Amino acid sequence: MSLTNSGGALWVGIGEALLDAVTWTSVKDGATTQLDPDFATPEENDLESNWCPATIAYGAGDLGSPGAPNEECPIEAPEGQCVDPATNELRDIVPVPVGDLVITEVMANPAGAEDADGEWFEVLAKSGGDLNGLQIGKAGAWSDEVVSETCIEVDAGDYLVFAHGDDPASNCELPQVDVLFDMALNNSGSGLMIGYELVEGQIDLWDEVSWASVPNGKSWSFGGDLNTVANDDQAAWCDGAGVFGCGDEGTPGLANDSCGGGGGDTCIDPDTNLSRMIAGPGPGDITITEVMPNPAAVPDADGEWFELHADAAFDLNGLQIGKNGVVEHTVIAEQCIEIAADSWLAFALSDDPALNGGVDPVTWVYEGLTLNNSDGNLFVGFADMVRDRPRGDLAPTARA
């Protein structure tokens, strides 16, 4: 008896009694078709979906496990789901929230590798989620999708490297590769965008950056506040610094250096009109006292705000605000913003009371930071040192 390669069947029995039978539509060359051990019954082995090609070599090199237990078959995830690496069970894909994937570095013109092998870009995840289903594109057209049966989980603070290849011999010895993509990155007059298809047929934009030109052998590096608004400004980008791998420059998988041109260490004194050093808040000088992450009277995009109390006098210049350990906005002004001790300071997304729900006066209008309605957090700092960070849920709807 010979076994047919396609449209085949096999049965076993005793006398005229059928004990078991299986069928198959096709087989893989050089590999057995094996039953997942989780479905080892005469009833469940009738389903071809419970079988898969073997992957373990035996004897002269064919694949299979004669006389030994079979491997478990990989789980085929339906659309919108992936296999959790911790439980090996299917679950829904959880996209990283909008605003929390920030494009931070682009290597469009490598010198130490061919473009087809050595191009890469970096994305900062400011909160956790899955990259499965992430779309990649440029010039208004989507080209690539991150596809994986296994959930590609990321955590807040991860710097993720997307590359054409994961072979160090050809990709300029990148220190890490998290995701592979195919789309070519243009050297001039181009850009890069990422998004998710949450509704079938509609891809929503998560972040987009553009550039007039990029250097040869150096990454194009973002050095501003880490949010999807600030990285729209090409002036906040500069040549990457720091040699990696085969000799190109950049910091794949690591935080970037500042590009300069920010607020600096000085400001113009409003009384003398002369430059002086910024006197930022010290430890214990500032306290977060009120937070409105979920207004009901106006949209979140206009009505979110938070309040600080100044326990001592200081300059507001250089104050950093953020969440999940990532600075998302820095107070930058040419003139010193002098704050008196025992002052109450309102930070809002708008200073128009008609838009922000009636917050008036507003001390500072910030951008790029969204306040989570649940499991949220917020911190303020100065000179990369945290000055206050309350813990716990931020707020219910329409309560500060």
| 121, 231: one domain | yes
pLDDT of residue 392: 46
Label residue 251 exposed, middle or buried (CB < 10 Å: 0-12, 13-18, 19+).
buried
| 213, 118: one domain | yes
The dihedrals phi and psi of 241, each to the nearest 5 degrees, come to: -125, 145
| 234, 271: one domain | no
pLDDT of residue 263: 54
Would 397 be classed as within a structural domain? no
pLDDT of residue 180: 97
The CA-CA-CA angle for residues 156, 154, 214, to 5°, reads 85
Would 22 be classed as within a structural domain? yes
| 275, 342: one domain | yes
| 107, 233: one domain | yes
State the Cα–Cα distance between residues 368 and 329, nearest whole angstrom.
Answer: 7
Q: Beta strand pairing status for 338-339 and 286-292?
A: unpaired
pLDDT of residue 174: 97
| 197, 271: one domain | no
Q: Which residues pair with 266 in a beta bridge?
A: 277
- Residue pair 226/327 in contact (Cβ under 8 Å)? The answer is yes
Would 132 be classed as within a structural domain? yes
Would 259 be classed as within a structural domain? no
> How many domains does the structure of the chain reveal?
3
Peptide bond into 361 cis (omega under 30): yes
What domain range is 170 assigned to? 101-239
State the Cα–Cα distance between residues 256 and 137, nearest whole angstrom.
Answer: 23
Block residue for tokens 């085949």:
8
Residue 164 is encoded by which pair of tokens?
């054409």
Would 151 be classed as within a structural domain? yes
Would 223 be classed as within a structural domain? yes
| 285, 227: one domain | no
Q: Which long-range contacts (CB under 8 A, 24 or more apart) does 162-171 make?
A: 162/120, 162/121, 162/122, 162/123, 162/136, 163/119, 163/120, 164/116, 164/117, 164/118, 164/119, 164/120, 165/117, 167/117, 168/245, 170/113, 170/114, 170/117, 170/118, 171/113, 171/117, 171/118, 171/120, 171/245
| 133, 179: one domain | yes
Q: Which of 395, 348, 400 is nearest to 376 (CA)?
A: 395
State the Cα–Cα distance between residues 246 and 252, nearest whole angstrom.
Answer: 13
| 185, 276: one domain | no
pLDDT of residue 75: 72
| 171, 66: one domain | no
pTM for this entry = 0.66
CATH number at residue 144: 2.60.40
pLDDT of residue 150: 93
pLDDT tens for the chain, 400 residues: list them.
788 888 888 888 898 888 888 888 888 898 988 988 988 898 998 888 888 899 999 999 999 899 999 998 877 788 899 999 999 889 999 999 999 999 999 999 999 999 999 999 999 999 999 999 999 999 899 999 999 999 999 999 999 999 999 999 999 999 999 999 999 999 999 999 999 999 888 999 999 999 999 999 999 999 888 999 999 999 899 999 899 999 999 999 999 888 764 456 888 999 998 888 899 998 899 999 999 999 999 999 999 999 999 999 999 999 999 988 888 889 988 899 999 999 999 999 999 999 999 999 999 999 888 898 888 889 999 887 877 676 544 444 444 5
State the Cα–Cα distance between residues 35 and 56, nearest whole angstrom.
Answer: 14
- Residue pair 72/138 in contact (Cβ under 8 Å)? The answer is no
Would 93 be classed as within a structural domain? no
End residue of a domain, out of 58, 74, 90: 74
| 62, 116: one domain | no
Would 52 be classed as within a structural domain? yes
| 156, 46: one domain | no
- Residue pair 205/183 in contact (Cβ under 8 Å)? The answer is no
The CA-CA-CA angle for residues 356, 309, 400, to 5°, reads 40
End residue of a domain, out of 189, 220, 239: 239
Q: Give the number of other CB atoms < 10 A from CB of residue 140.
A: 8
Block residue for tokens 């990989």:
74
pLDDT of residue 202: 92
The DSSP code sequence of 17-67 is EEEEEEEEEE--TTB-EEE-GGG-STTGGG-GGGEEE--SB-TTS-B--TT
Q: Beta strand pairing status for 343-348 and 364-365?
A: parallel
pLDDT of residue 262: 46
